[in-house]
């Protein structure tokens, strides 16, 4: 499964590059427009200390929605699921519910690089012979690119550093993770007109 996710991510990037070179449709980030995206990829978790078995590569799946206040600033809401462990009748997974902002550079181009910052609620669930949930928060920072393949849609590869923080029974725990994802987005509405390039 991990190999499949990595190969799918690499394939998405290759297809996006090919289509970007050949696509004639142009678009841009428009003020007061919205977008929604679904994505998947993998995340490398390290420095778990108390749960050493989680220090590995895992899949990550999620959706997010954004509102473009201006062509340069997008406010975001997101949900992510990371299955951390499954074996011996036990499962461990974390869900991230958060918000943040995306800062778009060159929003009138077909490829729009951006920086992103997110923060939110993190729920870590242990299941198997019972269930236990540990709550905390997370923050993340990273970047990517919105690659328009048509007037209203495209693909979005992204790299992000994420740090969850938990507290349970008077004990705190945190770990570092690096996520690489690829997704498809759709944009609608907005004010302004996408420029056509020859």
The pLDDT tens digits for 176-197 are 899 999 999 999 998 765 544 4
State the pLDDT at residue 151.
84
In a domain, 154, yes or no: yes
Q: What is the mean pLDDT of residues 65-78?
A: 97
pLDDT at residue 39 is higher than 90: yes
For residue 153, name the pLDDT band (cuts at 50, 70, 90).
very high
SS3 12: helix
pLDDT, the chain, mean: 83
pTM for the model stands at 0.79
The pLDDT tens digits for 73-122 are 999 999 999 998 887 788 888 899 999 999 999 998 889 999 999 999 99
In a domain, 193, yes or no: no
Q: How many domains does the chain have?
A: 1
pLDDT at residue 14 is higher than 60: no
CATH code: domain of residue 182? 2.40.160.20
Burial of 130 (0-12, 13-18, 19+ CB in 10 A): exposed
List, in order, residues 6 or more apart from 21 with CB less than 8 Å away: none
In a domain, 195, yes or no: no
- Looking at the chain, the whole-number percentage of residues with pLDDT higher than 70 is 76
For residue 124, name the pLDDT band (cuts at 50, 70, 90).
confident
In a domain, 130, yes or no: yes
State the pLDDT at residue 195.
46
- Looking at the chain, the whole-number percentage of residues with pLDDT higher than 90 is 50
Q: What is the mean pLDDT of residues 36-54?
A: 77
SS3 15: helix
State the pLDDT at residue 90.
84
In a domain, 118, yes or no: yes
In a domain, 38, yes or no: yes
* Domain encompassing residue 150: 2-187
State the pLDDT at residue 8.
54
Length of the chain in residues, anyone? 198
Judge contact between 147 and 25, C-beta under 8 A.
no
Q: What is the mean pLDDT of residues 12-26?
A: 52
Judge contact between 95 and 87, C-beta under 8 A.
no
Which tokens hold the place of 98?
């958060």
């Amino acid at each position: 499964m991990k190999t499949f996710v990595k190969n799918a991510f690499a394939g998405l990037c290759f297809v996006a590059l090919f289509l970007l070179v050949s696509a004639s449709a142009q678009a841009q980030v428009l003020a007061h427009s919205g977008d929604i995206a679904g994505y998947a990829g993998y995340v490398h978790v390290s420095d778990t200390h108390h749960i050493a078995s989680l220090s590995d590569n895992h899949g990550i799946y999620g959706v997010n929605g954004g509102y473009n206040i201006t062509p340069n600033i997008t406010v975001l809401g997101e949900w992510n699921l990371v299955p951390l462990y499954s074996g011996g009748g036990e499962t461990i997974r974390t869900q991230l519910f958060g918000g943040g902002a995306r800062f778009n550079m060159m929003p009138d181009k077909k490829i729009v690089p951006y920086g992103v910052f997110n923060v939110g609620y993190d729920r870590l669930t242990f299941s198997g012979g019972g269930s236990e949930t540990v709550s905390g928060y997370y923050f993340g920072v990273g970047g990517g690119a919105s690659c328009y393949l048509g007037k209203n849609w495209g693909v979005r590869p992204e790299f992000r550093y994420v740090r969850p923080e938990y507290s349970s029974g008077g004990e705190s725990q945190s770990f570092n993770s690096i996520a690489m994802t690829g997704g498809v987005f759709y944009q609608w509405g907005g004010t302004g007109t996408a420029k056509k390039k020859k």
